Amino acid sequence: MKEHKPWFDEECLRFLDQRRQAKMQWVQDPSQSSVDNLNNVRRAACRHFTNKKTAYLKAKIEELETNSKIKNLRDLHRGFNGFKKGN
């Protein structure tokens, strides 16, 4: 399995499962109600992922600000390099 981002947790996995099940339901029964359900589940999952990632990034930025204020250069540069590498 692919390595997930640090903000990806069990709740995100549940949203992925819901999305997968809604898609399978739509494939088996391509009615308008299943299309609407799929779109609603996709929208909710996307919103959840965006909120999780935003909260994670805010926490990382606050951590970098704290390291900058207390002159903790080693952790500050580790944080910058983590952002560059996509962590």
Looking at the predicted structure, is the pLDDT value of residue 2 above 70? Answer: no
Q: What 3 state SS string does 15-71 have?
A: HHHHHHHHHHHHHHCCCHHHHHHHHHHHHHHHHHHHHHHHHHHHHHHHHHHHHHHCC
Domain-located, residue 2? no
Domain-located, residue 4? no
In this prediction, residue 1 has a pLDDT band, given cuts at 50, 70 and 90, of very low
Q: Considering the entire predicted model, what is its pTM?
A: 0.74
Q: How many domains would you assign to the chain?
A: 1
Per-residue confidence (pLDDT) for residue 66, from 0 to 100: 83
Domain-located, residue 81? yes
Higher pLDDT, 6 or 3: 6
Per-residue confidence (pLDDT) for residue 44, from 0 to 100: 96
Task: State pLDDT tens for residues 13-44.
Answer: 999 999 999 999 999 999 999 999 999 999 99
Domain-located, residue 3? no
